[in-house]
Every structure is written in C-alpha cells, then in structure tokens.
C-alpha cells in the first residue's frame, strides 16, 4: 500500500508548491510602499490641512508667527513630496513585477499588504516624530495633558492596521487568482516610455523640495532649524 501513499502525496505537494509560487509572485513590497505613501498622504491631508491638528514642525516652531507658519507650510509640502515618492515607487515596483511575469492577484492580499504599510507608517511616525524627535503631536489643539492619549491612540491604530493586514494577506494568499488580460496592456508598454514617465513624475514631486528658493528659503534659513542649531 506504500504506492497509494505516494500517489496521495502528489496532489498535496502540488498544492503546496502552487501556494508558494502564488505567494512569491505577489508584489508584496510594492503594496507595502503604496500603504506607506497612502498613510502619509492621509496624515498630511487630514491632520495637517483639513483638521489642522498639527503641522510638520509645529512642536519645534509653534504657529505663533508668520515665519513659523511659512516654515511649517514648507515642510508640510516636503512631507507630501515624500509621500508622493513612496506611492510612485510602489507603482513602479508593481509595473516591474507585472512586466517580468503576470503576478497572482487577490483583493484581500493586496488590501492586507497596503494596510500593513499604512500601519508601519503610523508606528514609525508615532514613535520617531511624535515621541523621540517631538516634531509634533497628533492633536495639538487639546490641552497638553491630553495630547499623550491621542498619541497612544495613533499608535494603537497603526498596530491594529498591521494585525488586520497580516490576517487579510494570509487569507488572500490562499485565494489569489492569476491575472491575465487586464494586465496585458501594462506588460506590453515599452519600458523606455514607462521610465520616462516615472522620471518626470519623480522630478515634479521632488524638485521643489530641493529648490528652497521656490519657497523663499535660503540655506541660512534652513540651518536655523533646531536639528542644525547648537541651541
């Protein structure tokens, strides 16, 4: 009966190899980068602009003068440029993976890995910017004693997104389907054209950040930032 056992092992081995191939062929890094960028965009648009709970350097330079408002607005823009670059990098990696081989897609796995990236952003932002560097806190419109609770909530939100994302990615890895026709156009796009487009988009996003004169700032102004100051 040994031959029956060996025959029964063939389908199970095939399923294992199929699942491993599906997982390795999914553009995980691209989706994580998209999640990082989307998390940064959400933070910048909702917290910095719509709610105006804080700005990029409002913990160091409160909005009590025109100069500080200008400085914070500039660094909010640089922050958005960084978010733009993260999303652009995610799309570029996804295009590269699609061009080399048709990836296996799953809505749950895609959304799950994006949530993982978003959660990683929240944790990094919450620990480094909010607690270590003290660039700002989540909600600076509330009394000082209450701000720590908003910071803790932001960290818990990020941890919850990572946990939910991991669970969704695991479920999606078992139900992925092979992407074909919808990605054929992407695979047939000339690589040179794609490189030019991404390069132009990258320049549009980052050039202002590296051209302080466009914001009315000089090198001397930038050196006055607390991180460069001896005070």
Give the span between the Cα atoms of 110 and 112, in whole angstroms. 5
Q: What φ, ψ does residue 38 adopt, rounded to 5°?
A: -65, -40
Who wins on pLDDT, 115 or 191? Answer: 115
Q: Within the chain, what is the greatest distance between any pair of CA atoms?
A: 85
Question: pTM for the complete prediction?
Answer: 0.72
Task: Identify the band that residue 10 occupies on the pLDDT scale cut at 50, 70 and 90.
Answer: very low
Give the span between the Cα atoms of 186 and 95, in whole angstroms. 7
Domain residue ranges of the chain, discontinuous segments joined by + = 32-223
Residue 114 in contact with residue 37, Cβ under 8 Å?
no
**Residues facing 180 on adjacent strands:** none
4-8, 21-25, 111-115, 180-184: which is most confident: 111-115
Looking up tokens 């959660």 gives 119
Residue 165 in contact with residue 113, Cβ under 8 Å?
yes
What pLDDT is recorded for position 97?
A: 82
What pLDDT is recorded for position 210?
A: 57
What pLDDT is recorded for position 178?
A: 47
Residue 174 in contact with residue 49, Cβ under 8 Å?
no
221 Cβ contact partners less than 8 Å away, ≥ 6 residues apart: 71, 212
């Amino acid at each position: 009966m040994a031959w029956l056992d060996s025959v029964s092992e063939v389908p199970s081995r095939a399923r294992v190899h199929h699942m491993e191939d599906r997982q390795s062929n999914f553009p995980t890094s691209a989706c994580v980068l998209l999640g990082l960028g989307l998390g940064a965009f959400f933070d910048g648009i909702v917290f910095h602009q719509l709610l105006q709970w804080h700005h990029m350097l409002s913990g160091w330079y409160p909005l009590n003068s025109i100069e500080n408002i200008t400085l914070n607005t500039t660094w909010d823009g640089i922050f958005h440029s960084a978010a733009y670059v993260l999303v652009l990098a995610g799309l570029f990696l996804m295009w590269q993976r699609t061009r080399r081989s048709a990836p296996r897609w799953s809505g749950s796995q895609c959304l799950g890995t994006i949530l993982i990236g978003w959660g990683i952003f929240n944790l990094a932002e919450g620990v480094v910017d909010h607690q270590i560097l003290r660039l700002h806190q989540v909600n600076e419109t509330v009394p000082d004693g209450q701000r720590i609770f908003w910071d803790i909530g932001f960290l818990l939100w990020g941890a919850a997104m990572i946990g939910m994302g991991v669970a969704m990615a695991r479920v999606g890895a078992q139900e992925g389907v092979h992407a074909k026709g919808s990605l054929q156009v992407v695979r047939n796009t000339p690589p040179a054209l794609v490189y030019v487009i991404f390069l132009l988009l990258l320049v549009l996003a980052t050039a202002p950040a590296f051209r302080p004169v466009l914001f009315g700032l000089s090198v001397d102004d930038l050196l006055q930032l607390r991180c460069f100051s001896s005070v």
